[in-house]
Amino acid sequence: MAVSKKRVIVVGGGLAGLACTIKLAEEGVGVDLFSMVPVKRSHSVCAQGGINACNDIARQQGYSEYMHFDETALGGDFLADQPPLLEMCQWAPKIIDLLDRMGVPFNRTKEGQRDLRLFGGSLFKRTFFAGATTGQQLLYALDEQTRRAESEGKVNKFEFWEFLWPVIHNGQCVGIVAQDMRTMQIKSFRADAVVIATGGNGLVFGKSTMSVICTGGAASRCYQAGAKYGNPEMIQVHPTAIPGEDKCRLISESARGEGGRVWVPRKPKDTRSPNSIPESERYYFLEEKYPKYGNIVPRDIATREIFEVCQQGLGVGGGNMVYLDLRDEVKKRGRAAILHKLEGILEIYEKFVGTDPLDEPMKIFPAVHYSMGGLWAGFTKDPKTGGLKSGDPANMMTNIPGLYAMGEVSFAYHGANRLGANSLLSCIFDGLFGGTCIKNYVNDAAPVASTDVAQSAYDAVVNQETEKQNWLINNRGSENPYALWQEMGKAMTENCTVVRYNEKLEKTLAQCQTWKERYKNVRLSDTGMWSNQNLSFARATRDMILLAEAILKGALMRNESRGAHYKPEFPERDDANFLKATIATYDAATNSAQISYGPVDTSLVAPRARTYGKKADSMSAAKPTQSSGTSTGGVPASASV
């Protein structure tokens, strides 16, 4: 198929960006693909556990695509619009078949069928996986297809380029301004549509499981340019990670899906080796509190329960750690069988901790992992199916015509909590389904073609970004941007993660205003104009502060507990007042976030309680104290192994 004169810019080289690029190339639309790192080093490469879908094997268990949809709506505590969820789950089996044909080395059963594992929020095996490096295998497969399209002249790849700002002409997005991260050249690029697929914002919280490029800078710049930001307060803290001095390293939910058991000693401050503690003296708290789901409860629940037992002084050695134990599975299935399915994460643990996780239980603790919130994205419901209207240009589009959001940067699919192994699915679904929608937009619905927009519209944004850069280079203040970022990250982690208190949120929000003022006095340690990473990070620091403000305001105003957002002062979900999406908009005049609310489409399945089989005597919401592990109610900054 010949490449049309229409062009689309895709910002982000992860799974969502590549899936969209491939689909657009197939549709005959030219693509310029921008990434801060080589595509194969995008953060999608770090995904471990798997990708959800219902196939014939799952159906033999009694599972269905509709059950997958229902689990996703329930897992997100009914804060996600349901038509996009239904469409995603209906597409999931086809996506797995496509990935299989692309050569993704999914694990197989002895009969040659694609293997499945359990994952949180489901009693059915419905998670496909490639060992414990699923994200890497999917990314490499999509990269191959992207490079094929590149060789055919359908895709231009711009690696080591940083997105700086969208070009908006008469309310329509018609391109971007970006910077070459080596030569530091700032340049404008025309496009008939722009796709933002730049992932999460973990660095707002300092240490997280995310890569160091995951500042949320691109999303923040679109937000500052007028894009709405949905559900900013919904941040997922993964229950199992290795806390470290530099960052936190994920230990995939697949470890629990493959039979790993979470426990602590029943005796407080027990300092014995875990291998010497008899079974009768271990507290398998997830299994005892949630006998139906046990260790595969959704992440928000597992995280709060782990946090609670540590608050009670039952953490390993009285600290902020619990055990994740695979030894029972080794006895049942043998060491080789476990390594075959989990070797990737077991190697990570042994490398950074120094003990063999199959000989001795892993020591883990929750860490910031994922943003359910993100750029607001719209959709058009198909009244016949209840899902999305195929090919409609409004699907995945932000409130700015021509500007689309896909993958983790979009708020669309996970509501108040993401089920494990739904992220890879949502990324690829966004790209494949949305590609056709974007093609129809650029061919039929775009008010103006980018080629008809005056060059002055692009030059104005180049000048704007050049002035920002010059200010940073010439500023002679006393603030170190890295120190300012670390202070922000520590405060955000302690006060706005697992447990949230309004008093703490108000205090941190006041600090946020101070961070804004202090940012005016930042000073670069490197003012050179070749591959200046200091400049890039300092610029992103302001973007992170503004996102932090939106997160804090959204959390402060939502006086209920829903999914990952938990307030002991308001322990119940409040559908009467908060079954609605938080919408943050940036007010340039006050340099601050303004919060409003939008409707949530729950027309397909009615909201119900998320109990996950919790025992009747444990039904009251946990109320962590502000003692023992931390004085703030967040993930303790001192957590270590």
Q: Which domain holds residue 269?
A: 238-366
Give me the pLDDT at residue 617, please: 61
In a domain, 522, yes or no: no
Catalytic residue among 114, 221, 256, 299: 299
Domain-ending residue, one of 311, 335, 366: 366
Do 67 and 212 share a domain, yes or no?
yes
CB atoms within 10 A of CB 595: 17
Do 90 and 149 share a domain, yes or no?
yes
In a domain, 516, yes or no: no
d(CA 22, CA 129): 22
299 counts as catalytic: yes
In a domain, 631, yes or no: no
- The alpha carbon of residue 476 and the mean position of all alpha carbons in its chain are separated, in whole angstroms, by 36
In a domain, 256, yes or no: yes
Do 356 and 403 share a domain, yes or no?
no
Q: What is the CATH number of the domain that holds 278?
A: 3.90.700.10
Give me the pLDDT at residue 638, please: 41
Do 295 and 405 share a domain, yes or no?
no
d(CA 226, CA 440): 24
Domain-ending residue, one of 427, 455, 483: 455
Give me the pLDDT at residue 615, please: 84
Do 249 and 202 share a domain, yes or no?
no
**Average pLDDT of the residues of the chain:** 95
Q: What is the CATH number of the domain that holds 156?
A: 3.50.50.60
Do 169 and 146 share a domain, yes or no?
yes
Do 140 and 272 share a domain, yes or no?
no
In a domain, 597, yes or no: no
Give me the pLDDT at residue 521, please: 97
In a domain, 476, yes or no: no
Do 230 and 257 share a domain, yes or no?
no
In a domain, 393, yes or no: yes
| Count of the separate structural domains present in the chain | 2
pTM equals 0.95
What's the DSSP call for residue 590?
T
Domain-ending residue, one of 345, 366, 387: 366
Do 223 and 87 share a domain, yes or no?
yes
Do 76 and 45 share a domain, yes or no?
yes
Do 303 and 421 share a domain, yes or no?
no
Q: Which residues have a Cβ under 8 Å from the Cβ of 197 and sit 6 or more positions away? A: 10, 11, 12, 14, 16, 17, 20, 405, 406, 407, 409, 427, 430, 431
Residues of the chain with confidence (pLDDT) below 50: 619-632, 637-641
In a domain, 639, yes or no: no
Which of 583, 503, 542 shows the shortest CA–CA distance to 233?
Answer: 583
d(CA 590, CA 516): 11
Do 166 and 102 share a domain, yes or no?
yes
